[in-house]
Structure 1
Amino acid sequence: MKDYQDGYVNAGGTRIHYVEWGDPSKEPVILIHGLNVQAHTWDLVARGLAKDHRVIAPDLRGHGESDWSKNGYRVRTLMNDIAALVDELGIVAPFHLVGHSAGVRVAIAYAGEHADRVKTLSLSDAGPETTRAGAEYMRDFIQRTVSIRGFRNAQEAWDYYKNEHPEWVEELIDLHVEHQLRRNWAGKLVLKADPDVQWITGSASLPDIPYLWDMSAKATMPTLLMVGRTSNVLDEALVERMTTVMPNARAVWFETGHYVPREQPDKFLEELQAHFAEGQ
């Protein structure tokens, strides 16, 4: 029996899927996933947070069970989907907002535009911009991923993801196979995500960088930067700039690569809970 509920909201004509954990009367947390994945990459973290919180993890448009977009995937569009989710679910009290990777950009945009709605902000291994090496790596990785034609069966998919991400906790490999793929008309397991999301890693996202730095300066809530020490997405200079620009930010470093919550979910959860408590 699953310990979460599925739901949908309408964001300007785009249907957004989400999963919800925990007691709806408790303090809310919204978890925003990264590029080309889906809400269930948060399951291990959500399960731990749900003991004391109402936990909501949406599929960004173009991902998971949410609709593909006719209007592209710019950060303001994704941010407006989160705003619609918050409004449709009737979340009134300030909530905890968490983002990983590309979800960090969405979280920064929302926190800057709606600072009064966010109690604490937690950003996992990304920022308003990335290092050149990190940008090139993510571009090549996403292009390689979206070029996957499909898998014959779940074991073949599991072996592929385990080879790509040997550092991940294996339960997250299982979840990836279960929720990242769909069975197509030919009986093959293919990606759920819209291939068009790959352009987020290219020049199409460059105009968002000045906006995201502006939003970072407006994100006045307690902010935790959770950075993988061996990741090339952020470096010390970018982290220092973020903690300088963001009015109430601090950084904690993990002995991981980019995928902090998938490599060390227990420590990630522990740091989140401590950060939430400090924001009381």
Structure 2
Amino acid sequence: MNVETPQGTVHVHRTGTTGRPLLLLHPLALSGAVWDPVARYFADTHQVLAPDARGHGASTWDGAEFGVADMAADAAAVISALDAGPADVVGLSMGASTALTLAATRPELVHRLVLADGTAYYGDDAVPVWAERAERATTVERSKQLDFQRDRWFAAPYLAAHPDEVERVCEIFLKTDSAAHGAACRALGGLDARGQLSAVTAPTQVLVGEEDYATPPAMSEALAAGISGAQLRILEKTRHLSLLERPDVWPTLFGGAA
């Protein structure tokens, strides 16, 4: 499924055809395909929509700089294209920051919200830190970036027990356009949504891996503290891609029993 926007085409991985829309927003330098196992799980109860961010996967990109607010506008366009909102929205890492911005600026489109391993603000040194990451993303061969990525994404026991799933995620990373990866890094460096937290009205669950050092638990604690009624859950022995590492959490995303 493709959604046309003024900025280009957003490609959407679509699974399931009935029930409330479920929008899944992916992490940096990956694509909507990373959600495939989660999409299959929810396909019987939701229309699952997993868009590719600008320049990621099969979505187009004109090469211009963009921000998290632009990615949130693309996500809003996907929900609006179905004319079936509000949607349940789940964001992981970069996708969580996008989901937060979407929920704050277009609350009528969001029914329930899950923010996993994300943040509203990466810190006072975010701009230079993310500029350096953008430089690495665009100048270092993608295969040589994988050791850094694997260590951030998954805890050691998961890496050992699930090599096929780790390889699947790595393949998505390798196929991601390096220039778009760099632009998304700069977008995250410019993120400051702290003032938007109070505007989120959807019931919100905040999740974070206990061992996540990309967006440490303190960042999720700040999200939960700033969003009225938000529930925080810290997942033991889990790193950055928590919702891939912990399928046992999927049944609990929208208030199901643990």
Shorter-chain TM-score above 0.5: yes
**Structure 2 counterparts to residues 101-250 of structure 1, below 5 A:** 101-130=93-122, 143-149=135-141, 167-168=158-159, 169-176=162-169, 179-181=172-174, 191-202=175-186, 205-209=188-192, 212-250=193-231
For residue 121 of structure 1, report the CA deviation from its aligned partner: 0.5
Q: Secondary structure at the match of 1:208?
A: coil
Deviation string 1:63-101 (CA, Å, 9 cap, x unpaired) is 011112333220111111111111222223x21100011
Partner of 1:186 in structure 2? Answer: none
Task: Label 1:79 to 1:157 Cα distance change in 2 as closer, same or farther (>3 A).
Answer: closer
Task: Give the Cα–Cα distance (whole angstroms) in 1 for the partners of residues 229 and 184 of structure 2.
Answer: 28
Deviation string 1:93-145 (CA, Å, 9 cap, x unpaired) is x2110001111111011101111221110011111013679999877666545
Q: Percent identity over the alignment?
A: 23
Q: Is the 8 A contact 2:137 2:178 kept in 1?
A: no
Task: Give the Cα–Cα distance (whole angstroms) in 1 for the partners of residues 235 and 133 of structure 2.
Answer: 22
Task: Label 1:40 to 1:261 Cα distance change in 2 as closer, same or farther (>3 A).
Answer: same
Deviation string 1:213-252 (CA, Å, 9 cap, x unpaired) is 2222111111111111111234454333322210120111
Q: RMSD of aligned C-alpha atoms?
A: 3.2
Which AA in structure 1 matches 2:206?
L
Deviation string 1:245-264 (CA, Å, 9 cap, x unpaired) is 10120111112111212322
Task: Give the Cα–Cα distance (whole angstroms) in 1 for the partners of residues 15 and 9 of structure 2.
Answer: 20
What 5-or-longer segments of structure 1 have no aligned partner? 1-6, 182-190
Task: Give the Cα–Cα distance (whole angstroms) in 1 for the partners of residues 101 and 242 of structure 2.
Answer: 21
Aligned residues: 251
Q: Is the 8 A contact 1:131 1:234 kept in 2?
A: no
Task: Give the Cα–Cα distance (whole angstroms) in 2 for the partners of residues 30 and 254 of structure 1.
Answer: 22
For residue 62 of structure 1, report the CA deviation from its aligned partner: 1.1
TM-score (norm 2): 0.82
Task: Label 1:193 to 1:57 Cα distance change in 2 as closer, same or farther (>3 A).
Answer: same
TM-score (norm 1): 0.76
Task: Label 1:114 to 1:160 Cα distance change in 2 as closer, same or farther (>3 A).
Answer: closer
Task: Label 1:49 to 1:134 Cα distance change in 2 as closer, same or farther (>3 A).
Answer: farther
Q: Secondary structure at the match of 2:57?
A: coil
Instruction: Name which of structure 1's ranges 32-41 and 140-149 shifts more when overlaid on structure 2.
Output: 140-149
